[in-house]
Amino acid sequence: MHEFSIAESIISIVQDETREYPGRQIRSIKLRVGILKQIVPEILDTAMELLTEGTNIHGTSIELETEGVEVSCLDCELREIVYELPFACSACDSPRIRCKGGEEISLLSIELDEVNENGDSGTP
Amino acid sequence: MEIQVLRRLEEKNKADADQIRALLNQHNVKCFNIMGSPGCGKTALLEHVLPPLQQRYRCAVLEGDLYTTQDAERIAGMGTTVIQLETQGSCHLDANLVMRGMQELNLDQLDIVFIENVGNLVCPANFDLGEHHRITVVSVTEGHDKPSKYPALFTKADIVLITKTDLLEHTNFDIHRAKESIRKFNDHAEIVETSIRSAPPAALVAFVLSIVD
């Protein structure tokens, strides 16, 4: 349920980054999420919906780009990036693998309306 | 229109955590974050490592709990300073809450602070609490597949304790497979088997002493 904390961080960054554009509806937010974060997209959507009610972020869509894990096998030469939790080497099935990465979560970009609710750009 | 951002979501918590570390360093206090599932033995481990450590060092515990002060009372019963961090149902501690706990401690009078995280295998891993070292606990009754299913709790651990090994014969827990799974995501942590029923967790005491001595 750390999705609620994540949603709070998203909202805080979005508010910070869109301060110059008051009243504009946020259309979508793009995130890059490492698979080790074990984020459940549906719960993140629910958290965003609940926490943004009455704001210009409400109703935004969250786009997730997945950051994989780099796997290297100790028993064969295989090195690969995988996007699901790895249990064994995909080439030789050895459980002796080493995994790196997939631990970060970043907000990449925000898409917002060209105009605010009054139909102007809202900027001086 | 699109605004390019590229900011890490953890940045605020990380800034708070760095502030805690700076505060601890200023007072020469070492801090350990203990993580693991509910019932894996985090509080029991503390009950066993505090007496030998307290012979030489001044210890305090920040006790994370969803509700109730039961764990905090167990620790306080040993004469250890304990601050309750009640998360009111939230499944993890964050650096902001831990900072409030640290501010209640007289850090000048302490050498070691343990943070007992909320029992949970997923969420606590995501929050740097300003600790210097991470201790991850997994018990044999949870099953050897847990490190594979919840790798994030193990990636940054400095020591992993496999607890309740006195119950091994009653479970199908495969210690070799559990260790192999931990190694997939962490090739540096010391991995220790322990049972407080049969012996005090000497390896954990030795690990803490190796940091503070």
In which region does residue B60 sit, left (phi positive, over 0), alpha (psi from -120 to 50) or beta (all else)?
beta
Q: Is residue A118 in some structural domain? A: no
* B54-111 pLDDT per residue, tens: 999 999 999 998 777 788 888 888 889 999 998 877 788 999 999 999 999 999 999 9
Residue type, A21: Y
Contact check, Cβ <8 Å, B5/A38 = no
Q: Does A68 map to a domain?
A: yes
What is the per-residue pLDDT across A35-87, written as a single tens digit (0 to 9) for each?
A: 999 899 999 999 999 999 999 999 999 999 999 999 999 999 899 999 999 98
- Which helix or strand (DSSP H or E) is residue A29 part of? strand A26-34
Average pLDDT for B108-130: 94
Q: In CATH, what number does B11-212 get? A: 3.40.50.300
The pLDDT score that the predictor gives to residue A1 is 63
Please give the Cα distance from B16 to A116 (Å, whole number): 34
- Please answer yes or no on whether B151 and A99 come within 8 Å at the CB atom: yes
Residues of A within 8 A of B150 (CB-CB) are 38
Would A122 be classed as within a structural domain? no
Q: Assess whether pLDDT exceeds 80 at residue A121.
A: no
Predicted pLDDT at B200:
78
Q: HEC profile for chain B?
A: CEEEEEEECCHHHHHHHHHHHHHHHHCCCEEEEEEECCCCCHHHHHHHHHHHHHCCCCEEEEEEECCCCHHHHHHHCCCCEEEEEECCCCCCCCHHHHHHHHHHCCHHHCCEEEEECCCCCCHHHHCCCCCCEEEEEEEHHHCCCHHHHCCHHHHCCCEEEEECHHHHHHCCCCHHHHHHHHHHHCCCCEEEECCCCCCCCHHHHHHHHHHHC
Give the pLDDT confidence score for residue B116 in this predicted structure: 95
pLDDT of residue A108 exceeding 70: yes
Give the closest-approach CA distance of A72 to chain B in angstroms: 9
CATH number reported for the structural domain that contains residue A18 in this entry: 3.30.2320.80
Structure tokens at B113: 């602070």
Structural domain count of chain A:
1
pTM metric for this prediction: 0.91
Option in A97, A104, A114 nearest B1 (CB): A114
In this prediction, residue A124 carries a pLDDT of 54
What pLDDT is attached to residue B14? 95
Instruction: Report the gap between the CA of A118 and the closest CA in chain B (Å).
Output: 17
Q: Is A119 part of a structural domain of the chain?
A: no
Contacts of B26 (CB under 8 A, 6+ apart): none
Is residue A37, in this structure, part of any structural domain at all?
A: yes
Q: Which residues of B touch A104 (CB under 8 A)?
A: 8, 10
For the segment B163-182, the average pLDDT, to the nearest whole number, is 96
Mean predicted confidence (pLDDT) in B159-163: 97
Q: At residue A98, does pLDDT exceed 60?
A: yes
Q: Which residue has the higher pLDDT, A1 or A87?
A: A87
Q: Do A1 and B10 touch (CB under 8 A)?
A: no
What residues make up the domain containing A65? Answer: 3-112
The reply to whether A93 falls in a domain is yes
Residue among B12, B90, B151 whose CB faces A9 most closely: B12
pLDDT > 80? residue A123:
no
Q: Does B15 touch chain A (CB under 8 A)?
A: no
The Cα B159–Cα B161 span in angstroms is 7
Displacement of CA A18 from its chain's centroid (Å): 18
Query: What distance in Å separates the CA atoms of residue B7 and residue A121, rounded to the nearest whole number?
Result: 25
Q: Is residue B185 over pLDDT 90? A: yes
Q: Which two tokens stand for residue A37?
A: 């974060």
- Segment B152-166 shows an average pLDDT of 95
The full set of domain ranges for chain B reads 11-212
User: Any CB–CB contact under 8 A between A15 and chain B?
Assistant: no
HSE at residue B96, side-chain half, CA atoms within 13 A, is 7
Q: Considering the domain boundaries, does residue A16 fall inside one? A: yes
Q: Is the pLDDT of residue B15 over 60?
A: yes
